[in-house]
Structures are given as structure tokens and as C-alpha cells.
Chain A
Amino acid sequence: MWLRIEPRPEPSRLMRYLSPLLAVALMLICGMVLFKVLGKSPVEGFKVFFLQPMADRYSVAELFLKATPLMLCAVGLSVGFRGNVWNIGAEGQLLVGALAGGGLALHFPNSQSPFLLPAMFMAGALGGMLWAAIPAWLRTRFNANEILTSLMLVYVAELMVSWLVHGPWKDPDGFNFPQTRMFQSKAILPVLVEGTRVNAALVVALGALVVGWIFMNRSFLGYQMKVSGQAERAGRYAGFSARRTVWLGMLIGGCCAGLAGVSEVAGPIGQITEHISPGYGFAAMIVAFVGRLEPVGIFFASLLMALLYMGGEQAQQYLGLPYSISKVFQGLLLFFLLGSDVFIHFRLRLDRGRK
């Protein structure tokens, strides 16, 4: 007896939006069971993990701070994913963006120009795009699979950061520790809400969401990408170039990831170290999927994802659970989402009798 799925006559719009909620619910149930198994009260566990990170003004601000790079990366990725361009190297593009933007800050340690920060964002976007252009070029010129090349380049980027902070960019007054100088004040993003760390990068991220929404829903180019993503052949008949889809998808993804990199180094970190991103580029893929590749969805999904990170910290302090529980939740969430997504296009049937 095999489970069989059969296509729905038409994709279910309802399921499309219900599916993420279903996934979150399943993850929560799983989480409660997990707390129970570990001998913790499920209610207490839920409170600590999912409510405590929103307990006060500062924590809520932190939630937005943590969500900012996720939002940026995810909105860029979603443009590509819609066009079937599988850029899974946002982590690397984020790092190169951070290097480009941060490098500018280090190069002008005394600049008083108000344009320094905008220039850093520009440099970051270019850096991210440059790193994304490599898989795009290899794909369009040599037909090399962008999933694999963009992934490989993540590791190259990580090693590049490591080399720079251990070598040429090391803070000369930093006792040989692997990090650069702190950025000067003109290269640090202004804080939006006094007493918190939430900064101007959030505005950039929200702006990216708006631009992303307009691009996807109101522009001809965005429409073209969607069509060629859904049916490459149809797109080609209609005169859309597959090549352009790849380039656009990769470059937009790289641009946003690069911005995210700058938002971290010019925001809460304030310098370049080996620990710029705890895997935002990968987590952003989960965010993009859970957010249905749509800016509004991504907004909420990135906050949820930030909550999972912060819940893990809380669970350690108040429940004595290891931090890795965050990753378990993240993995479960994506699994459940992918699982429930199937019901958008399909129905499940039990297939008795064998072929």
C-alpha cells in the first residue's frame, strides 16, 4: 500500500496561504512534544521559547534587528526562486558585500562625509552582485549548475574573510587578534529607537521589500521572470530570454545579500570579524519559502525566524536546553512547510492494490 498523490484540477489558493500556518502549527506541536519528552512543561517551554523574546521593548527591537538581514537576503532570493534560479550562495554574497562595504569604511577612517554610509551600501550591493555574477556568468556562458557553483563560492568567501581579518586587514592595535579596526562613527548606522539596537538598516530592508513587491507584481520584467520560471518553454516562445532571467535572479539576490552584509558590519558589529553571519544566507532560504516568495510573507517569516534564533537563547537561560534546539526547530519548520506545500497542487490518496 503506497501513499499516492494526485494533482488537483487547479492549484489551491487557500492552501498556498494556509500551508505556512499549518507548518508553524505542526512545528509548535512538535516543539511541545519535544519539551514534554525532555521533562519540561510544554506550556512553560512555549512561553520561554516563543513569548519571552517579545517580552519588552528591547527584545522586540532585537527581533527586528535580527530579522533585518534575513528580510534583505530573502527578498532578493525570492526574485530568483520565482524565476527558477537557484542561488543558494546568499551567505557568500552577504560576506563579500560586508567586505566591500566594510572595506570602504576602513579605507576612510577620518571621513566626515554624510555620504559614507550610502556609499558603503552601494559598495556592499556591488560586492554581493559581483559574487553572484560569477555563478550567473558560469551558468549562462558555460551552462554550469548555479546551485553547486554558488554553494562552493560560499566557502571561498568565508575563507576570504578569514584571510583578510587574519592578515592584511587586521587591526594593527588589536594585539594580533583576528579582527579589523572598529569603524568610525560616520560609518555606523544610526539607531532608530533610543536604547535599542534597531537601526537604519531596517528602513533599507523595508524599502527592499516594497521595491521587491513592485518589481514582482507591477513590473513587466518581474512578470516575465515569473512566467519563464513557471514554464521555460512558454517564456521562450513569448520572447523572454532565459539568460536574462538567470542574470537578473542572481544579481538581485546578490545585491540584497550584499546590503544585508553591510547592515551587519555597519550595524550591530561595527567592524569586520570572522563571525559576521551565523548563517543568515541559508536561513533566508527558509524565510523565502515560508514567506511564499512574497514580500509581505517574507516580512512575517523573517520575524518568525528571528524568534526561533532568540528563543534558543532564552531556552538555554531559563530551561537549560542546548542552543541547538533552535536548529531543530528551523529544520522542522522547513520540512513541515515543504510537506504541506504539496497540498497546493495535489491531493493525497491511499493507493491500495499494487501495480
Chain B
Amino acid sequence: MQRLKSSITLLGLGLLAASPLAAADPAPTQVGFVYVSPVGDAGWTYQHDQGRKEMEKALAGKVTTKFVENVPEGADAERVVRQMITGGAKIVFTTSFGYMNATEKVAVAFPNNFFFHATGYKTGKNMGIYNARFYEGRYLCGVIAGKMTKSHIAGYVAAFPIPEVLQGINAFTEGMRSVDPKAEVRVIWVNSWFDPGKEREAALTLISQGADMITHHTDSTAVVQAVEEKHKENANLYSFSYHSDMSKYGPKSCLTGTTHLWGDFYTRVVKEVMAGTWKGTNVWGGMKDGMIKLAPLNAAVPAPVKTLVVKLEKEIIAGKLHPFDGPVIAQDGKELVPKGKSMTDAELGGMNYYVKGVASTLPKN
């Protein structure tokens, strides 16, 4: 085998020679991105790719970027990350939870490179993690929903009951009930991040059960499109998009959306790494850090609601309002956070329950 290998290695030497290895300073820094799904036109990966492009623009001439999409979260991820490094990348961003262990392994093997893993919890000397406080946007969407609902029922199409998704559902519920105490939120789990057919079916199901404010935590635009279609029959039916601004898919009915903005963060850490000032990253950024933003509000949102949302947004940014300010009551009536306190980050990270106001029951598994 050794012989076979060396002969093939010889064959590849020509290619290797062409790759930029440890070039002198003026050469741009190469930054790699590993994506879990195709970039597409909206959704989780699309937002990361937007961030990549913004960073590339902001640091024009100083960086080059490349990406690999559709990388399975199994054994292949480690190779892809590693090959990005051997292909000349100085910094690699891995943008899905399932890449955590692979990223960690490569980070240990390449101590002089830098790694950033989105949504995970393992860090290292040269490995940072980052995530965004999506629930802040969810809370504001909930407030708008509470102000605009007529049926007092909201519908939520969700993928898997992991903390991030539950934070979203619960924050939306808290927001909605802060202005409409009668409101309830119904949840349908489609058990897939991505199945446009099923997502649409779930949205239609919720609509037919009386929900008039619909949102989703899945990766396609199907829910927003389904609502746009049904909006023709029920003028008070609206949606809130997630990941991206999907108003293009629901010009009349998509009120706003919780959008993810990674560009500034990418620019900042890449700059830090290049300047040699980077000292570990455990970023969980929210509206304050510009990592979460509401998409422009639809004209259908009345002016007083707009004013309220702007005010609440400012309070969140100023740290005066936390979507999980006490009292937070669980679905079964237990008090989770007493009045006067807010939920801690650790508590948020372990969320595995519904709050009061969610009408569905959490699947036990």
C-alpha cells in the first residue's frame, strides 16, 4: 500500500506545488465555509453565504473565500474541513451543529489555523463558537402576531425539538401573550429541516384549525408561500418568515421575519485573526450585536404596532427587555423564572419544555 500511495503522491505533487503555501504577507488570507445544504435563495445556509459575501466585500483585497455546500453531517465533514485547510485556508467556518466534533478534531490537528463552529458548544484554543439569539426576533414577531390576530391562535411549523427551536416557539408565545393574554400557539413538528411538501401541509393544517398568524422553523419558503395563497381567502391571515427576509415569497401576507445577519461577525473575527488579536470566541449575539434583525415590516402592520415594535426593539438592544423576563410559567403551570429575574443563558441552552400558552403537547419520543 505504501508503494501505491507514494506513486499517487508523486502524481499529485504538481498540483500541490501550485497551491499557495504559507505565502508572504501581501497574499490575501483564505477563508473557507462549510455549508450543510445548498445555498439556494433563502434559509439558513443562504444567510451564511450572504455573510460570507459581505465579509469578502468588507475586506476586499485582503481575503479570498471559498465554500462547500451540501456537506453531510457524517464522516465526510472532517475531510472537507481538513482539505480546506490543506488547500490554503487560514480560517474555516463550519455552519451546522453536526460539524462540531469534526471541526474540533481538525482544530486540534492544525493548531495554527482558526476554526469557528456555529450553534455548537465545544471550544478550543483555536476554535471559537458562535450563534445568534434568534429568540429576540421571535419575541417581536409574537408581539406583532398578538396585536394583529383575530382568532387568537397562532400556528408554528417546526422541525425538531432542540433548544434553539423551543426558544423560538416559547419566545414567540411570550411575545404574543404579552399583548394578547388570550392567545395560544399551536405547533406541528414535521420532523425534517427541509421537506417543502410537508411544511406546506403543516401550514395549511394550522390554518384550517383556525390559526391566522403562521410562522415556521424549517428551511424552505413553502410556509410563507402557502400563507400568501390562502391570504386571498382570509385577509387577516399573515406569516412571519425565519432565517431570511421572505417578503418576496409573501408580498401581501408576510409581515416580517427574524433574519440572521452573519456578515459583521464574520468581518470582525476574520479581522481579529488577521491582526493577531483574536482571543477566543464564544459569541451568542442578538439584536444588540446586529446579528438578528427584523425584516422590514409589511405595510399591513398598523402604525401604532410599528411604533410599539420599534420601542421594544430598542429596549431589547438596551438590555431593558428580555423575552424571558420573569415570571415565566411552564405549560404545566410551574414557575420557571420568578418575577424580577430573567432566564440565564445556561437555562436557555437547556430548554426542553413549552411555556404556558402553547396549546400543543411536546412529543415525548
* B72 CB contact (under 8 Å) in A55, A178, A271, A275: A275
Q: B72: which A residues are within 8 A, CB to CB?
A: 275, 278
Q: B365: which A residues are within 8 A, CB to CB?
A: 163, 166-168, 170
| Interface residue B66 (Cβ < 8 Å from any Cβ of A) | yes
Q: A324: which B residues are within 8 A, CB to CB?
A: 70
Rounded to whole Å, the gap between the CB of B173 and the closest CB of chain A is: 18
Contact A175 B9 (CB under 8 A): no
| Interface residue B60 (Cβ < 8 Å from any Cβ of A) | no
* B73 CB contact (under 8 Å) in A175, A268, A273, A314: A273
Q: Which residues of chain B in 207-241 are interfacial with respect to chain A, using CB atoms and an 8 Å cutoff?
A: none
Q: A170: which B residues are within 8 A, CB to CB?
A: 365
| Interface residue A267 (Cβ < 8 Å from any Cβ of B) | yes
Q: Given A59-B83, A278-B76, A47 and B15 touching (CB < 8 A)?
A: yes
* B76 CB contact (under 8 Å) in A176, A179, A313: A313
Contact A277 B162 (CB under 8 A): no
Contact A176 B163 (CB under 8 A): yes
Contact A59 B74 (CB under 8 A): no
Contact B163 A175 (CB under 8 A): yes
Contact B79 A313 (CB under 8 A): yes
- Interface pick from A29-37, A70-78, A315-323: A315-323
| Interface residue A58 (Cβ < 8 Å from any Cβ of B) | yes
| Interface residue A182 (Cβ < 8 Å from any Cβ of B) | yes
Contact A60 B98 (CB under 8 A): no
| Interface residue B322 (Cβ < 8 Å from any Cβ of A) | no
| Interface residue B80 (Cβ < 8 Å from any Cβ of A) | yes
| Interface residue B16 (Cβ < 8 Å from any Cβ of A) | yes
Contact A56 B76 (CB under 8 A): no
Q: Which residues of chain A in 237-265 are interfacial with respect to chain B, using CB atoms and an 8 Å cutoff?
A: 264
| Interface residue A276 (Cβ < 8 Å from any Cβ of B) | yes
Q: Given A268-B78, A275-B73, A275-B98, A166 and B160 touching (CB < 8 A)?
A: yes
Contact A323 B69 (CB under 8 A): yes
In the bound assembly, the distance between CA atoms of A276 and B97 in angstroms comes to 15
| Interface residue A52 (Cβ < 8 Å from any Cβ of B) | yes
Rounded to whole Å, the gap between the CB of A212 and the closest CB of chain B is: 19
Q: A65: which B residues are within 8 A, CB to CB?
A: 75
What is the interface size of chain B, counting residues whose CB is below 8 A from a CB of the partner?
Answer: 45
Q: Which residues of chain A in 268-299 are interfacial with respect to chain B, using CB atoms and an 8 Å cutoff?
A: 268-271, 273-278
Rounded to whole Å, the gap between the CB of A75 and the closest CB of chain B is: 18
Of all chain A residues, the one with the shortest Cβ separation from B102 is A268
Contact A54 B8 (CB under 8 A): yes
Contact A177 B97 (CB under 8 A): yes
Contact B101 A52 (CB under 8 A): no
In the bound assembly, the distance between CA atoms of A324 and B67 in angstroms comes to 15
In the bound assembly, the distance between CA atoms of A162 and B71 in angstroms comes to 19
Contact A313 B80 (CB under 8 A): yes
Q: B98: which A residues are within 8 A, CB to CB?
A: 179, 273, 275
Q: Given A51-B12, A55-B12, A317 and B83 touching (CB < 8 A)?
A: yes
Q: Which residues of chain A in 17-67 are interfacial with respect to chain B, using CB atoms and an 8 Å cutoff?
A: 47, 51-52, 54-62, 64-66
* B75 CB contact (under 8 Å) in A163, A167, A179, A264: A264
Contact B12 A52 (CB under 8 A): yes
Contact A317 B78 (CB under 8 A): no
| Interface residue B111 (Cβ < 8 Å from any Cβ of A) | no
In the bound assembly, the distance between CA atoms of A197 and B166 in angstroms comes to 36
| Interface residue A310 (Cβ < 8 Å from any Cβ of B) | yes
In the bound assembly, the distance between CA atoms of A55 and B80 in angstroms comes to 14
In the bound assembly, the distance between CA atoms of A221 and B79 in angstroms comes to 41
Rounded to whole Å, the gap between the CB of A352 and the closest CB of chain B is: 49
Q: B161: which A residues are within 8 A, CB to CB?
A: 176
Q: B162: which A residues are within 8 A, CB to CB?
A: 175-178
Contact B84 A267 (CB under 8 A): no
Contact A317 B87 (CB under 8 A): yes
| Interface residue B339 (Cβ < 8 Å from any Cβ of A) | no
* A182 CB contact (under 8 Å) in B66, B69, B78, B101: B101
Contact B68 A316 (CB under 8 A): yes
Q: A177: which B residues are within 8 A, CB to CB?
A: 97, 162
Contact B11 A51 (CB under 8 A): yes
Q: B86: which A residues are within 8 A, CB to CB?
A: 56, 58
Q: A323: which B residues are within 8 A, CB to CB?
A: 68-71
Q: B12: which A residues are within 8 A, CB to CB?
A: 51-52, 54-56, 59
Rounded to whole Å, the gap between the CB of B84 and the closest CB of chain A is: 7
Of all chain A residues, the one with the shortest Cβ separation from B162 is A176
In the bound assembly, the distance between CA atoms of A184 and B364 in angstroms comes to 28
Contact A278 B38 (CB under 8 A): no
Contact A276 B15 (CB under 8 A): no
Q: Mark B81-94, 1 if CB is under 8 A from A, else 0.
A: 01110110000000
| Interface residue B338 (Cβ < 8 Å from any Cβ of A) | no
| Interface residue B320 (Cβ < 8 Å from any Cβ of A) | no
Using a CB–CB cutoff of 8 Å, the interface residues on chain B facing chain A are 1, 5, 8-9, 11-12, 15-16, 38, 66-76, 78-80, 82-84, 86-87, 97-98, 101, 109, 121, 160-163, 166, 191, 349-352, 364-365
Known contacts A175-B349, A182-B101; can you find 7 more A-B pairs with CB under 8 A? Answer: A170-B365, A178-B162, A275-B74, A313-B79, A314-B83, A322-B70, A324-B70
Pick 6 A–B contacts, CB within 8 A, sort by A.
A55-B12, A166-B160, A176-B351, A268-B74, A313-B79, A314-B83
